[in-house]
Structure 1
Amino acid sequence: MTRNNLPGRILVIDDDQALCELLVEDLSRRKHQVSSVLKVDQARELLHREEVDVVLTDLNMPGTSGIDFCAELKENRPDLPVVIMTAFGSLETAIAALRAGAYDFVTKPVDLDLLSITLNRALQHRHLQKKVRLLKDQIRRQQPDDELLGESAVLQQVKEQILRIADLNTSVLISGESGTGKELVARALHRQSTRREGPFIAINCAALPGNLLESELFGHVRGAFTDARENRKGLFLEADGGTLLLDEIAELPLALQPKLLRVLEDHKVRPLGSTQEIACDVRVLASSHQNLSEAVSNHLFRSDLFYRLNVIQL
């Protein structure tokens, strides 16, 4: 381990079991926390469950190639450095890897010391990115929210709550009478969160009948119903990486409530008419002018969905 080594959490992806074991052993000896998988699908599952600082992936993988997976991560996890291993150390390979968003690449057979240096640079890069993001967050939090104007004690308390919970990435239930600015609060939560660069989408659950609302939220495939002439993503997928506000959530039909609960639990959406589930990364905010606790007591709203949405209440 070099003097400037920065320990980190590293995910190794290679269909060569022996190489995975070698890399895990060597990198662990260098004080890193290392996980390894043999397939890209396994990597996706692990990244959904665990925090990783650097991905080290082989170029040629069965199914999804290392470069394709790198491009996928670049879109969904732009802050996550990817180092690609390849047996073909050509200029064309290097250009393809870098264009896909790779931080760097190393050639096989792997020089373990050179790999360690490369991973250390990637870890330092990620560490600096985090510091810059923290500084930006500090500056952002010192700036007033232009849409929440006023000096009342109640409004100041709401603003303080927004700052405290904005980055928690949990569901929030916003309660209040009609016209009290529930959507403004939701937008402020989004702007103050780490998802602020992603989309903010709001839908009024009382504005559409149940069958149309299901398609609007979860999407559909062509032929799913009479007028489904083309595929539709749905708002959960359109809001991927951002925030989705379910306004007037008390009006969500009972028949749709189990499907919403499953999306909140599994972070996957199954469009109408499809057998495939699609991963989605969305923070869900819900608002209502009704008392949801009473709706639960009256069997108009599922208690498990209520508790899933009511992680934090404003």
Structure 2
Amino acid sequence: MEKSTISIIVVDDEKPIVDTMLVFLSRIGYQAKGFYDSDEAIKYLDTHSFDVMFTDLMMPKVSGMDLVKKIKDRGDDTQIVIFTGYATTDSAIEAIQFGVYDYIRKPFKLDEIKVTLNRAVEKLLLKRENVFLNKRIEKMLADITMLYDISNIFYQLENFSDVAEMVLDTLSEGISIRHAAILKMNADYGRYQTICQRGLSENLAEAFLFSKDDMI
């Protein structure tokens, strides 16, 4: 994923910090939106999501932890970095409990921000990849289960044509196969012939006529 596609929000009531962060993030290839007013930021989060959030902890009206809780309550996978000049053990523990990625003390160096951001983005992308792979595995298991269920039904059907039609219907609807055909050996001619098909023209289906020794 390109850096320019990573969405970042920076929230701090200290204007120089927000401005410096925005310039720095732009310089290293990221795009970010900044807020000096945390109340405006939390309203903006009602309709917008971000990949990474940098936020001060202690702010008037709405605290950094209020922003964190809003994001986490919504179930977003936003990676959150808190920076503060009032670090305490209790605040650090609370931040960790809410899944904050990192906790940086003020004053901080921009190089520290860069390293933290790159690691946060790496974690975010890895997490999303894992979610994608898990969904694929779940889909594969569902498909296998479905095919297993079909095989059990086969033994209850005496007519091969009925079985073939059921198989193609299931493949078409269950795992979105658009083009398929089932062939059966015709003992009289020593050739395979199309029994049923989905998504193929009649001419193409009829063209599937070959013997067991033919190359396909």
TM-score grouping bracket, smaller chain normalisation: 0.5 to 0.7
Which of 37, 40, 51 does residue 39 from structure 1 map onto? 37
Contact 2:68 2:80 in 1 (8 A): yes
Which of 88, 92, 95 does residue 93 from structure 2 map onto? 95
Any residues of structure 2 matched to 1:1-314 within 5 Å, and which? Answer: 8-47=6-45, 49-144=47-142, 151=166, 153-160=168-175
Contact 2:12 2:37 in 1 (8 A): yes
CA-to-aligned-CA distance 1:191-229 (integer Å, 9 cap, x gap): xxxxxxxxxxxxxxxxxxxxxxxxxxxxxxxxxxxxxxx
Counting aligned pairs with the same residue, the percent is: 29
Q: What is the count of residue pairs matched by the alignment? A: 157
Distance 1:156 1:21 in 2: 56
Higher relative contact order (CA 8 A, sep 6+): 1
Contact 2:39 2:61 in 1 (8 A): no
What is the RMSD computed on CA atoms of the aligned residues? 2.8
Q: Which residue identity is paired with 1:136?
A: N
Q: Which residue identity is paired with 2:174?
A: K
Unaligned runs of 5+ in 2: 151-165, 177-216
TM-score (normalised: structure 2): 0.61
Cα distance, 1:44 vs. partner?
4.1
Q: Which residue identity is paired with 2:36?
A: L
Distance 1:46 1:157 in 2: 44
CA-to-aligned-CA distance 1:249-281 (integer Å, 9 cap, x gap): xxxxxxxxxxxxxxxxxxxxxxxxxxxxxxxxx
Cα distance, 1:139 vs. partner?
0.7
Contact 1:71 1:101 in 2 (8 A): no
CA-to-aligned-CA distance 1:31-68 (integer Å, 9 cap, x gap): 11111123344334544554521111110122221113
Contact 1:6 1:124 in 2 (8 A): no
Distance 1:63 1:147 in 2: 54
Structure number having the greater helix percentage: 2
